[in-house]
Amino acid sequence: MTTTLLRRPAVALAAGVLLLPVSACGGSAEADGSSTVTVTVGYQSKTINTVTAGTLLRSLGHFEKQLKALDDGTTYKVEWQDFATGAPITAQMTAGKIDIGSMGDFPLLINAARGKQLNRPTHLVSVTGYNLKGGLNTVVVAPGSKLTSLKDLKGAKVSTSVGSAADGTLVRALRQAGLDPARDIEKLNQQPAVGASALAAGSADALSQFVAWPGLLAHQGKAKALYDGAQLDLPTFHGVTARADFAERRPAVLEAYLRAQAEATDYLDAHPVDAAEKVAEATGLPAEVVYLYNGAHGIATFDPSVKPQLVSALEEDVAILKAAKLTGDIDVDSFVDDRYVKKALGAGYAERLRAAPPAAASEVWPEGASRTVEFASPDELLVHLARHRDGIRAAYVPDATTGTPWFADKAVWVADGERSLPFVAPETARAYVAGHEGARLISYADALGRAS
């Protein structure tokens, strides 16, 4: 936990007025007559699709700057608390110890349910990273696994974090594959790091997790993709939740936070490589993995606006949580409150609301470069890689079916005439081959060879 102290001059007070201490999570009266407000922010540093509300925002110091700009005679203390998942953030919020938190869509719903249950209501006030197709969640298996489709998981042990968006993806994907999530697999309820270890040890046959675990394990050569969450074609996202009592008592502070989040978002969009490096430095994650998700054409799009299609997806998620007996009915409409972000961003909010994700693109990150090189097609990227086999930090290609970016050397490749097409998972690659006469699976080395 880190505390940042921000002091502003006290406003003049009429003689004889008793000054009482005012605080968000706690505070005390200062000797000079000013008041102290502690704002506690819960975030998940390694859940890198929340960086504009946590890791990157903290690194840039935008929230502290916005609080200084309030110039309201208050001394602000910002406490940043880092967690592995959304559940402890919710626990701390409902205990009145965290004011603002960020987490994924399923944890957000649990946040809403717990807040109502404990008479500590919370509200979704903005969005961080999202993917309109669901590509933020992936099912992976060990590199040497013979499993090649979701149907192969029947009777298998699958690690996931129950109540997470990754668990929701697993449940939906298994149902689409004709499997019963409750009976046809043995679900292991584990934290991401524990699940990764279980996969490596062979005590789990597959791992369904959220960003950045699938990309990290693939990058490290410890896993390969079995299922791309974008095959569901259902939005998934991360967002910011605030305690209702805090928002009502400190609207200017919440709006300052949301303006700072928007500034961090703009910084990430303008400087994606530098932002990836900053997040990597703060989290210990490889910058190449951060960029896979948060890059200029990454799996996630960052935008604080609360888009209607994301709210609709949230409403569909309630049924999954109810079936798992994790929540009862949830009034999504009353949970979503975009008043503060609309006010914070003013006229610019409507433009952000209309904005669409950037078009898919193939990218190469050269060693020592502060910018990536974009290519119009995977074939053009392969030609470049074939000519520059050294000095390449990372290469990314979009899945030919879903558009989900993946590492070029970890993708499943298909030759279709003169074209080489990448896929995240083998099942989608095989489906393409089955529907295109003459198409065939090839190795990455073969794809490079064809390009050269």
Q: Which two tokens stand for residue 420?
A: 């080489």
Q: Which two tokens stand for residue 304?
A: 């604080």
Q: What is the pLDDT of residue 16?
A: 32
Beta bridge partners of 396: 363, 407
Q: What is the pLDDT of residue 3?
A: 53
Residue-wise pLDDT for 184-230, tens only, equals 999 999 999 999 999 999 999 999 999 999 999 999 999 999 999 99
Is 363 within 8 Å of 297 (Cβ atoms)? yes
Q: Which H helix or E strand runs over 381?
A: helix 378-387
Residue-wise pLDDT for 130-157, tens only, equals 999 999 999 999 999 999 999 999 999 9
Q: Which H helix or E strand runs over 311?
A: helix 308-323
For the beta sheet containing 405-407, the strands, ordered from the edge strand earlier in sequence to the opposite edge, are 373-375, 362-366, 392-398, 405-407
pLDDT over 70 percentage in the chain = 92
CA-to-CA dists, residue 347 to 135, 255, 336, 352, 353, angstroms: 31, 14, 20, 10, 11
Question: In 3-state terms, what secondary structure has residue 17?
Answer: coil
Residue-wise pLDDT for 394-422, tens only, equals 999 999 999 999 999 999 999 999 999 99
Q: What is the mean pLDDT of the chain?
A: 92
Residue type, 31: A
Distance of CA 323 to the CA centre of its chain: 24
Is 255 within 8 Å of 344 (Cβ atoms)? yes
pLDDT over 90 percentage in the chain = 90
Residue type, 28: S
Mean pLDDT of 254-280: 98
Is 225 within 8 Å of 199 (Cβ atoms)? no
Q: What is the pLDDT of residue 340?
A: 98
Cis peptide before 31 (omega within 30 of 0): no
Mean pLDDT of 301-307: 98
Helices of type H across 207-297:
213-219, 244-249, 251-270, 272-283, 287-294
Separation CA 362–CA 372 (nearest Å): 10
Give the angle 439-440-443 at the CA atoms, nearest 5°: 135
Give 48's pLDDT tier (boundaries 50, 70, 90): very high
Question: What is the dihedral sign for C-alpha 211, 212, 213, 215?
Answer: positive
Alpha-carbon dihedral angle through residues 338, 320, 290, 89, given to the nearest 10 degrees: 60
Mean pLDDT of 37-49: 95
Whole-number CA gyration radius for the chain:
23
Q: What is the pLDDT of residue 33?
A: 45
Q: Which H helix or E strand runs over 187?
A: strand 186-189
Quick one: which of 293, 448, 272 has its CA closest to 369? Answer: 272
| 248 has pLDDT over 60 | yes
**DSSP E strand stretches across 11-121:** 35-43, 74-82, 100-104
Q: Which two tokens stand for residue 100?
A: 């603002």
Residue-wise pLDDT for 417-449, tens only, equals 999 999 999 999 999 999 999 999 999 999 999
Quick one: which of 205, 237, 59, 40 has its CA closest to 132? Answer: 237
Residue-wise pLDDT for 327-376, tens only, equals 999 999 999 999 999 999 999 999 999 999 999 999 999 999 999 999 99
Mean pLDDT of 50-54: 98
Q: How many CB atoms lie within 10 A of CB 426?
A: 17
Residue type, 324: A
Q: What is the pLDDT of residue 35?
A: 87
Q: Which H helix or E strand runs over 93?
A: helix 87-94
Residue-wise pLDDT for 59-70, tens only, equals 999 999 999 999
Q: Looking at residue 12, what DSSP letter applies?
A: P
| 30 has pLDDT over 80 | no
